[in-house]
Amino acid sequence: MALSLAISPCPNDTFVFHALVHGRVPGAPPVEVTYADVDVTNTAAEQGAFDLVKVSFAALPWLLDDYHLLPCGGALGRGCGPLVLTRGDRDGGPDRTDLTGATVAVPGDRTTAYLLFRLWSAGRPPARIEVVPFHEIMPGVAAGRYDAGLVIHEARFTYHRHGLSALVDLGEWWEADTGLPIPLGAILARRGAVDPEAAAGWVRESVRQAWADPAASREYVLAHAQEMELDVVDRHIGLYVNEFTADLGEAGFAAVAALLDRAATAGLVPQTSSSRATAWTS
C-alpha cells in the first residue's frame, strides 16, 4: 500500500524527500505526496490524515499520542530562526522592539515561529494577532495593513525587497538565551500505521541521496519553489538542510524539550511527556 506523505513545497522539504517520493529508496513503499503549508499540515495531523507528515515542533503536544517523532528529516539549526519584520519607516519609540498596541500577522497559531514570538513577547504582547497565508505577510506589512509580520524560511533572504526591516531575529534571541539550536519543523510517523524505525531509515536514506547527488532533485525542487530564484533556493537548502536533518542528536532533542517545557510552563501549550518528546520509539 502507498504511504501518504505531507510536506511543504519549500526547497528544504522537496530536496530532502526527493528520493523517497520518487521511489529511489530501497525497501520503502510507494508514496502519495501532498504539498501544503505547515499550518495546514498541523491541523491535518491532528485529524490523523497522513502516515508521514511535516509539522511544527510547537504542535507536538497535540500530536504525540497519535504520532512518533522521527529523529531525522526535520528542520532545526542555528542562524535560521523566524524574523519579526516592520516597515523601515516605523516609529517604534524608545524601545523599538515594543509591539504593544500593534497588529501582527503570523503564519499559523501552532507554528514554532508563533510560539517563539509568544515567548519573546511575554509581558508585552501585541494588541492583535492575525493568521495570514505566508505569502501575504510581507506585502501586507509593506502596505501598512499590519504593523509587523512574523516570517520564516526564504523571507530571510528577500524581506529587504519589500522595504522591510528586521525588528528581531527570534533565532538569535533563542540561541542567546538557551545555547540550543532552533527546533522548527518535525517529521512524524503515525502510530499503528508506520514502523518508526523503518520510516527513519527511509528518510535518512533519502537525505543521504540528496547530499550525494544534489543535481538529481534540482528540477523537482525548482518546480515546487515557484517564484524563488535559484540563488535563494540554494541558500534556503544550505541553511535548513544540515546535520540535524540527518539526526536530531542530543542537542536537537534538548532543543525540542526546552521549547516545549518553556511553553508549557508559560501556559502556552499542554504539558508533554518528556519520553514522548525525546524518545522517538516511545
58 annotated ligand-binding residue:
no
| 113: enclosing H helix or E strand | helix 112-120
Query: Who's near 211: CB < 8 A, 6+ residues apart?
Result: 241
Angle among Cα 80, 170, 123 to the nearest 5 degrees reads 165
Contact indicator for 11, 185 with CB cutoff of 8 Å: no
Compute the Cα dihedral for 60, 134, 76, 266 and give only its sign.
negative
CA–CA separation, 270 and 59 (whole Å)? 10
Catalytic residue among 18, 22, 68, 153: 153
113 annotated ligand-binding residue:
yes
CA–CA separation, 208 and 234 (whole Å)? 17
56 annotated ligand-binding residue:
yes
Contact indicator for 198, 206 with CB cutoff of 8 Å: no
First-to-last CA distance in the chain?
A: 25
18 is catalytic: no
For residue 68, list its beta bridge partners: 189
Nine-digit cell at 240? 535548513
Which parts are annotated binding residues for substrate? 54-56, 112-113
Residues with catalytic function? 153
Which parts are annotated binding residues? 54-56, 112-113
